[in-house]
Structure 1
Amino acid sequence: MAAHAHHDAPGPALTLAARGAVERGGEQWTDLRATVFEALADFEKPASAYDVTEAVSKRLDRRVAANSVYRILDLFVGTNVAMRVESRNAYLANAHPDCRHDCIFLVCDGCGSTTHIDDDRIADQVRGAASATGFTPVRPVLEVRGRCVACATPAAIDKSGLDR
């Protein structure tokens, strides 16, 4: 695993860390951006931009344009405040926005849960393999599809019928 410890910041501390990351990226932390981040952070699983838009609209008691939320989510990915799960076209709040790693996701095909892991050795190997071909990697994203512990139990497999 990575050679350092993460200091996950829950609740208001996470929002403050996200704000700092956005501002260090040269952007302003607006009320709408704060609301989008807080809505995203409330999701337990990766959320689509439409899910986030709906949550923000409910919080603000007015309809918010999905394209505005998409732009904010893209900004968040660019400033390491959020991570994008490519195969799900969904986003997760980054629990440690002050620490930059390539994204390695474990995506459960059963329940949809997604776990982000940091392993700099794997990321460095992927970057090295890409570089060896003359390709310049910018933002590697690795996704491993499979089953989480809860969905991999025989009872869960029998119920889903997926592994018969």
Structure 2
Amino acid sequence: MHAHDHHEHSGEALSRVAEATLVRSGEQWTAMRARIFSVLAGFEKPASAYDIADAVSQAEGRRVAPNSVYRILDLFVNANLARRVESANAYVANAHPDCLHDCIFLVCDSCGQTTHIDDDSITRTVRSAASGAGFSPTRPVIEVRGKCADCR
């Protein structure tokens, strides 16, 4: 497998890189965006906007609407701070937001655990096939459904 090289961040380092990446894209790192990113990064599995809104509402002591969370998540996806797991309508924090590439998700049908892998040769082939069909790909979405090692 031809892996994509990058450095994965976690904890406070991930928040700092996410903030720098968002600011570099011309956006502001507000307190609410920081809170939503922190909550998203704290989930072990992909989280829906409703999951995130509930967690942020509890932390803030006031109701945060899922629509507001969706808008911020869309911003995060566009800025490469988060990835959307399409089949689950859920999101994961991108552990390397300073690195642009296509992702492949392995989604466990039993426990919901989602593993992110990089394989540039696969995504390059998908992009090439799309281009060969006269299509201009912007973001390939590759998800493999099955069972994780723990659930097999």
Same fold (TM over 0.5): yes
CA–CA distance in structure 1, aligned partners of residues 99 and 149 of structure 2: 27
Instruction: Give the letter aligned to residue 26 of structure 1.
Output: G
Q: Secondary structure at the match of 1:9?
A: coil
Equivalent residue, structure 1, for 2:112? 112
Instruction: Give the letter aligned to residue 53 of structure 1.
Output: A
Q: Deviations over 1:66-112 (max 9, x none)?
A: 11100000000000000000000000000110111112100000100
For 1:25-36, list aligned pairs within 5 A: 25-36=25-36
Equivalent residue, structure 1, for 2:15? 15
CA–CA distance in structure 2, aligned partners of residues 8 and 102 of structure 1: 15
Q: TM-score, length-normalised on structure 2?
A: 0.97
Q: TM-score, length-normalised on structure 1?
A: 0.90
Say if 2:85 is the partner of 1:85: yes
Q: Secondary structure at the match of 1:134?
A: coil
Instruction: Give the letter aligned to residue 2 of structure 1.
Output: A
Q: Displacement, 1:25?
A: 1.2
Equivalent residue, structure 2, for 1:161? none
Q: Displacement, 1:3?
A: 4.6
Cα RMSD of the aligned pairs, angstroms, is 0.8
Q: Deviations over 1:20-55 (max 9, x none)?
A: 111111100000000000000010000000000001
Unaligned runs of 5+ in 2: none
CA–CA distance in structure 2, aligned partners of residues 149 and 3 of structure 1: 23
Q: Displacement, 1:7?
A: 1.5
Between structure 1 and structure 2, the one with the greater Rg is: 1
> What percentage of aligned pairs have identical amino acids?
64
CA–CA distance in structure 2, aligned partners of residues 101 and 2 of structure 1: 11
CA–CA distance in structure 2, aligned partners of residues 146 and 69 of structure 1: 29
Equivalent residue, structure 1, for 2:140? 140
The question of whether the paired residues in 1 share the 8 Å contact of 2:4 and 2:118 is answered with no
Q: Displacement, 1:2?
A: 2.6
Greater relative CO (CA pairs within 8 A, separation 6+): 2
Count of residue pairs the alignment pairs up? 151
For 1:62-77, list aligned pairs within 5 A: 62-77=62-77
Unaligned runs of 5+ in 1: 153-164
